[in-house]
Structure 1
Amino acid sequence: MSSNDYPLTTFLADHSIRPIFRLPVFEDWLFWLADRTGIQALFKCAPAHYSYSPGTIRRCTRHGIHFELDISTYHGWMIYYRRSGNRRVSDLVNRGDTVMDVGANIGEVTLLCAQKTGPDGLVIAFEPNPATFAQLSKMLALNPGLNCVLVNQALGSMTGPVTMVQPDNRNPGTCTIASSTTPGKALSANIPLTTLDQYIEEHPISRLNLIKLDVEGYELNVLQGAEKTISRYRPVLVIELVDSHQKRHGHSAADIVKFVLQHDYRVTDFSGQTPFGIHDHFEDCSLDITCVPNECVSR
C-alpha cells in the first residue's frame, strides 16, 4: 500500500505539519505509531534532513547494528528514519565471505555485511573522506566483535595523491575525486589513491566474494584498477550506476556495463530479474546493478 492509502499518513506528511516532528516528544510518538501500526510510510512525515541544525545527533539500533547519526546529513537521516535500502546488499552475503565495501560512507553496508559474514568472514571498507572515515571508525567502535578492516584511501586506476570535492555539504556521500566538471568545495588535495590490485598485492586475501562499489562516478576507474582482482577471485559486483555521475569523469553508465560484460559477467538490475546487454540504453539512468560471473549463473 502507498501512503495515500492511509489518511493519517497523508495528513501528517503535509508540509505545514512536518516541522512539529523535530520536537523530541513528537519524534518519539512517530516511531511509536509506526511500530504500533506497522506502517513504515509514516516516516515520510519526518522533516527533511536539511531542516535540522548541523550536528543533530541521534543514537539508534537498526537491524542489530548500533549507530550514532547526524540526522542533518542525508545518509544519517535515511538510516534513522528507516528509509535506507542498503540492507539488501547484505542479503547477498554468506557466513565466512570476504567482502569489499568501496565507498563505505559511515558504514551501514560495512557493518551489516560484517554481521552476516561472522567471525570467520571479513569486510574491508574503503572510505577516503577523512571526516567520514572518522565517523566510520566510530560506528565500528560501537559494534565490537565485527571483523572489519577500515582503509582511509581512495581507489582508482592509478596511484598517487588526489583532490576530493563534496558537491552537497549536507550529504558527505556525494564526496568524489575532483575533475574539471565536478562541482563542490575541495576537501583535501592529499588524499591517497591506489588500485585494488595494488592493495591486494600488499594485503593478500584468500578469497573475495563480493565488491560493493559506490564512488560517485569513479566506478569505472576503480574497475580498471581491479582487473587482476576480478579475474582471480570472480566476486559478485554490486555497482551504483548513475550516468550523470559518470559523465563528470568522462565516462558513461554504458561504459561500465560494457566493461563488466567483457569480463564474462551477467549484468542485471539489483533484484536480478532484468538482464542488461551491450545494446541497452543507459542515458540518464540511476540504479544499482548486480553483476554475477557467468560461470556462477544458474542455467
Structure 2
Amino acid sequence: MGTHELPYLMMIKRILCAGDYVIDIGAHEGYFSLFMSPLVGKSGKVFAIEPNPENLYFLHRNAEINSEHNIQVMGKAISDKKRRARFFCADNMGPWGSLTDFPYFKTWFKTKKTIEVDVDTLDNLFANVNQKIKFLKIDTEGNELNVFLGAEKLLSEHKPHICFEINLILWAHLNSSIDIMLNCPEG
C-alpha cells in the first residue's frame, strides 16, 4: 500500500468508533481490515471477505497476529447472486484478481490463472446480523456494481458509509456507468 490510501484511512478513522460493525470486501491481505480492527475495538467486528486462497493465507495470519481478535475472515467472492464462479488471478500482481475476465489481462499481466470460488451476496451473508453495519469498503476490480445489486436489503436497512474503488478502464470494458451506482435510489 502506498500514500494514496492515506485520505481513505483518515476518512475511515473519522467514521468508525468502538462497537461498530464493518465489511471489507476484497480484503486482500488485510491492510484495511487491520486498520479498522482497533477502531471498532473488541465490541466491534470486521468482516474481511477475500476469494483468493493465496491472499486468504496472509489475511488469516495477519488477523491472528495483529488484530484485536475481532476480524472474521470469509473466503468467498461477493456479487449479485450465490453460485460457484471462475475467479481470474494475475501471477505477477500479487493480490489482484477479478470475477470478470478482462481483455486487459493479456497485456497487463505475465500469466493468468483461473480458480473456482464460492460467490455469495451481502444480503445472504448478513441477513441475520443483529448489529448495524456502519461501513463498507469494496475493492472488487470491476465487480462493484454487482456487489451493490446483491446488497439492496443491507443497504436500505443499514445505510452504511461506503468507500469503493472505481477503475475507469475496467468500467469502460464492462459498459458500466458510474452514474448507475452514484444515482442509486435511496432506501
Aligned CA distance change for structure 1 residues 165 and 146 (closer, same or farther; 3 Å): same
Amino acid corresponding to residue 12 of structure 2 in structure 1: S
The equivalent residue for 1:198 is 124
Q: Point out where structure 2 has 5 or more consecutive residues left out of the alignment.
A: none
The equivalent residue for 2:162 is 237
1:132-190 Cα distance to aligned partner (Å, 9 max, x none): 11111111121253311100010000111111123462342x311133645251330x2
Contact 1:157/1:223 (<8 A) preserved: yes
The equivalent residue for 1:44 is none
Matches within 5 A, 1:149-168: 149-167=72-90
Q: 1 CA distance for matches of 2:170 and 2:177?
A: 8
| Aligned mate of 2:113, from 167, 170, 186 | 186
Tell me whether 1:88 sits opposite 2:15 in the alignment: no
Q: 1 CA distance for matches of 2:180 and 2:56?
A: 29
Amino acid corresponding to residue 225 of structure 1 in structure 2: G
Q: 1 CA distance for matches of 2:102 and 2:36?
A: 35
Contact 1:211/1:236 (<8 A) preserved: yes
The equivalent residue for 2:181 is 256
Q: 1 CA distance for matches of 2:87 and 2:73?
A: 19
Farther-moved stretch of structure 1 (177-186 vs 108-117): 177-186
Contact 1:115/1:146 (<8 A) preserved: no
Helix, strand or coil at the partner of 1:211: strand
The equivalent residue for 1:105 is 28
| Aligned mate of 1:207, from 125, 132, 138 | 132
The equivalent residue for 1:134 is 57
Q: What is the aligned-residue RMSD (CA, Å)? A: 2.1
Farther-moved stretch of structure 1 (119-128 vs 135-144): 135-144
The equivalent residue for 2:97 is 175
Helix, strand or coil at the partner of 2:88: strand
Contact 2:138/2:163 (<8 A) preserved: yes
Amino acid corresponding to residue 178 of structure 1 in structure 2: T
Q: Aligned residue pairs: how many?
A: 180
Q: 1 CA distance for matches of 2:12 and 2:120?
A: 26
Q: 1 CA distance for matches of 2:92 and 2:152?
A: 33
Q: How far did residue 227 of structure 1 move? A: 0.3
Q: How far did residue 88 of structure 1 move? A: 2.4
* Structure number with larger C-alpha Rg: 1
Helix, strand or coil at the partner of 2:93: coil
Contact 1:154/1:194 (<8 A) preserved: yes
Amino acid corresponding to residue 9 of structure 2 in structure 1: R
Contact 1:212/1:238 (<8 A) preserved: yes
Q: 2 CA distance for matches of 1:136 and 1:95?
A: 22
Q: How far did residue 87 of structure 1 move? A: 2.6
Q: 1 CA distance for matches of 2:59 and 2:10?
A: 20
How high is the TM-score relative to the length of structure 2? 0.86
Q: How far did residue 111 of structure 1 move? A: 1.0
Amino acid corresponding to residue 90 of structure 1 in structure 2: I
- Which structure ranks higher in relative contact order (CA pairs < 8 Å, sequence separation ≥ 6)? 2
Contact 2:27/2:33 (<8 A) preserved: yes
Q: Point out where structure 1 has 5 or more consecutive residues left out of the alignment.
A: 1-74, 265-299
How high is the TM-score relative to the length of structure 1? 0.56
Contact 2:84/2:119 (<8 A) preserved: yes
